[in-house]
Structure 1
Amino acid sequence: MVQTRAVLAALLFLLINLLGGSAYNVVSVEAGHEAVLSCPYVSKVSLLMVTWKTTCSTCCLLAYRSDYNKTRRLNCSERMTWKYSPDSDPALRIYPVNLGDEGNYTCEIASTSGNFLLFSSLTVIVPPAVTLTSDSRTAICQASAGKPAAEISWIPASNHSIEEEVHHPNGTVTRVSYIGWVHSTLPTITCLVTHPATNQTLSLDLSYTSPRLLYLLIGGPASVAAVSGVTLCLIFVCRAFRLRKLAHRSAVPFATKNFRSTPLREKRDAVKPPVSSEIIYQNYNPNIIYMNC
């Protein structure tokens, strides 16, 4: 048993030396960019066959056989191809990378010198969408759908910030940080978002969101409305007074100038019986006679 373990350790050490480095490769690429997964280097003369495949049995398989100079593709996206000529450098190229490409890949090389393996782990990084907003009492910094989750900090630093996280099915994370600034005397507040794909700094001008400004924005229209209401009230009172005055005048009897008699009126007057002068002057009052100009 001890001898078997020693032989396996020696073979592993020899394999690492033949590969010229580690037999496990870790690659991190931002979504939408190009990912290149390398294979162990072998000379063109000794290369017999190279195969790229993922860990699952039904996933992508990309192979090249040098003696036939043929390439075989099985269940592979068109975004996956050889970076260079497979007989000179059989590196795998994926462009553009998306979250579905994340996983483990294996490069197998058969040559006259032996068989070699290189395992690669591909991690896809997604930069978050960053926003900084506020309501009347709180500043809100949000880093949406990032992978991994972004780190959020504030300037000036505060121990009273509150954070929330939402994990999405595709592996991305939305992180939100809240901080109150009602009693702050500083003119601005700054949100710092740190992420492997991007670092962003957003600032909020507190002078445009202060309670004093909100009071002015609310009190200004109210003052205008109050003045307008008083003005309309005065107009209505004046109009009512004038209408009452006109109604009082219309109730006082008045006499008009004599109009020229028409034939019809003369005929009507001829039919009427004569009226004595006593009846005419019975209700006479000179103070209530008005001339209509």
Structure 2
Amino acid sequence: MNFLEIGFNSKKAISVEMISVSTRLHVVLLPVAFLMAFARPGYPIAKKVSTLLGNKVLFSCPFDGNVTKMSWVFNSKLQIAALRCDLNEMALISNNSRIIIQNATCNTFKNEMNLQIESVQLADDGNYTCEILDQRGVHRLAFSFAVTVPPAISFSTDNKPNNTMMAICTASNGKPAAEITWYPNNLGNFSINITHHSNRTVTVQSKYHISIHHFSEEIICAVNHPAFDGIKNYTIHQNGPASYDSQLSPKILFLLYLIAGVLAACLCLLAVVAFTVRCFNLQIETAFRNCCISRSSQEMSQSNGPFIQMENFIYDSFQPQKPRN
């Protein structure tokens, strides 16, 4: 290999290495540029907030510096409230009595305008943005608010031809959609039907088709939802549905055991009392019989003595007397 071939191969290797380095830089710098673009004022990354239906929620909007105006906007269109720091004026544009503006202050060091919603409803679900205007431009703090609605759980069984049955578990009008799982899940096949309602709630219905020959004891419908504290289990027995919450079953079992223990203790106490009373009655009855028998025999012996003597006296008095010699 001559020097020309070595130089050509070196240049080629350097060119390939530069292309590889450039590709890696693009892979690394592109996400960074994307994050920097969305982190600029005017393109905030929304903070996710959620709460249960009927609860209250608070959105905090603090900002440092010389602020001219602060305002709250719902879904980028409806302005809820505005605070003019240059004019020291506060305007609540929304006529919703459940919306409260807290700690609306303007000064050079700290500016704050918190938005609180009392007793949240499904209509409150959406995006809330706090817009701050100062000498540097417009800054925004965004919140993506989701109202959580617990679903109503129902279940039933339906007998089908060919020795089959269908267990139905339904999580109605929940937000977001509930997750339904069957245990055991190898007894047949199941299907899921999801219905979206106009108020943004979702109904999830799961049908479990089971052969009666495989259905020996019970099956469990497990429902998972953000509104629940853990997973709730509902049991369907072979002779029909019977529900219980797996999180409450230990307490129920403890109460049942406690009641059974108290009843058993009461029955034992009653048995002991009855046995003691019976023994006491037997002792009294035996003592009474012995006392009465001894007294009656003594009375008879005492009463018969004078009677016999009197009878002998009378008999002797009427006997003819023998003549004296």
CA 1:168/1:69 → structure 2, altered by over 3 Å: closer, same or farther?
same
Q: Secondary structure at the match of 1:148?
A: coil
Q: Is contact 1:146-1:172 (8 Å) kept?
A: yes
1:157 is matched with 185
1:94 is matched with 117
Alignment equivalent of 2:93, drawn from 54, 64, 74: 74
1:31 is matched with 53
Q: How does 1:1-293 map to 2 (within 5 A)?
A: 13=36, 16=39, 23-42=45-64, 46-55=66-75, 57=77, 59-87=78-106, 89-111=112-134, 115-136=138-159, 137-158=165-186, 160-181=189-210, 182-198=212-228, 199-208=231-240
Residue type at the aligned position of 2:220: T
* CA deviation string 1:191-218 (max 9, x = no partner): 0111222232111222457xxxxxxxxx
1:238 is matched with none
* CA deviation string 1:116-135 (max 9, x = no partner): 21222222222211112223
Residue ranges of structure 1 left out of the alignment (5+ in a row): 1-8, 210-293
Residue type at the aligned position of 2:207: Y
* CA deviation string 1:196-242 (max 9, x = no partner): 22232111222457xxxxxxxxxxxxxxxxxxxxxxxxxxxxxxxxx
Deviation at 1:40, TM superposition (A): 4.5
Q: Is contact 2:157-2:240 (8 Å) kept?
A: no
Q: Is contact 2:129-2:140 (8 Å) kept?
A: yes
Q: Secondary structure at the match of 1:77?
A: coil
Residue type at the aligned position of 2:172: S
- Aligned-residue sequence identity (percent) comes to 32
Q: Is contact 2:41-2:140 (8 Å) kept?
A: no
TM-score norm. by structure 2 comes to 0.52
How many equivalent pairs are there?
196
Q: Secondary structure at the match of 1:91?
A: strand
Residue type at the aligned position of 2:116: R
More helix by share: 2
Deviation at 1:150, TM superposition (A): 1.1
Q: Is contact 1:40-1:118 (8 Å) kept?
A: no
Residue ranges of structure 2 left out of the alignment (5+ in a row): 1-31, 160-164, 242-325
CA 1:190/1:14 → structure 2, altered by over 3 Å: closer, same or farther?
closer
* CA deviation string 1:111-155 (max 9, x = no partner): 466542122222222221111222332211000011222111111
TM-score norm. by structure 1 comes to 0.57
Deviation at 1:93, TM superposition (A): 1.2
Deviation at 1:27, TM superposition (A): 2.0
| Cα distance in 2 for residues equivalent to 1:156 and 1:34 | 40
CA 1:15/1:183 → structure 2, altered by over 3 Å: closer, same or farther?
closer
